[in-house]
């Protein structure tokens, strides 16, 4: 069984484009991760000056890194595969935005596995704010590509 810190070591995205601080739990059916959107992140300067809001595309990326990328990495490693051989690539999303995420908020991203076969993954993913409000929900997909 992989620990959260061990699993996070395999995520290829790095700062300033890594939107996962912590893997809270993971198994072969789901994953839960957290990230704090720091108020000094560069994208807030232009989105929107004086009233910053986390861009939807960044929220979607945070969801993909956790609910698709890290869950696929977990399944790959548990199945005897290697992240030296494959990288998980985000491919598609059907998402619905419910509430804004503001600078300084810590979000929890939960991914529930829908399908995993032939290095393709589909997950039901939710992003919630620290007070439990639903920020974004959707179904996201990805695939493993040889590196």
Tokens in use for 22? Answer: 């912590």
Angle at 111 between CA 105 and CA 112, to 5 degrees: 150
* Catalytic residue from among 10, 30, 47, 98: 47
Is 47 catalytic? The answer is yes
Q: What is the DSSP string of 29-61?
A: SEEEEEEE--TT-GGGGTSSTTS----HHHHHH
Known catalytic residues are: 47
């Amino acid at each position: 069984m992989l620990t959260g810190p061990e699993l996070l070591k395999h995520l290829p995205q790095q700062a300033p484009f890594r939107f996962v601080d912590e893997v809270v739990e993971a198994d072969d059916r789901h994953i839960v991760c957290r990230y704090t959107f720091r108020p000094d992140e560069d994208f807030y300067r232009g989105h929107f000056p004086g009233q910053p809001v986390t861009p939807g595309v960044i929220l979607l990326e945070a969801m993909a890194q956790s609910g698709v990328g890290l869950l696929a990495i977990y399944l790959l490693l548990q199945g005897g595969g290697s992240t030296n051989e494959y990288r998980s690539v985000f491919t598609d999303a059907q998402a619905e935005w419910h509430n804004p995420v503001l600078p300084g908020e810590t979000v929890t991203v939960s991914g529930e596995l829908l399908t995993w076969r032939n290095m393709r993954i589909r997950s039901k993913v939710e992003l919630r704010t620290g007070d439990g409000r639903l920020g974004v929900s959707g179904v996201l997909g990805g695939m493993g590509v040889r590196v």
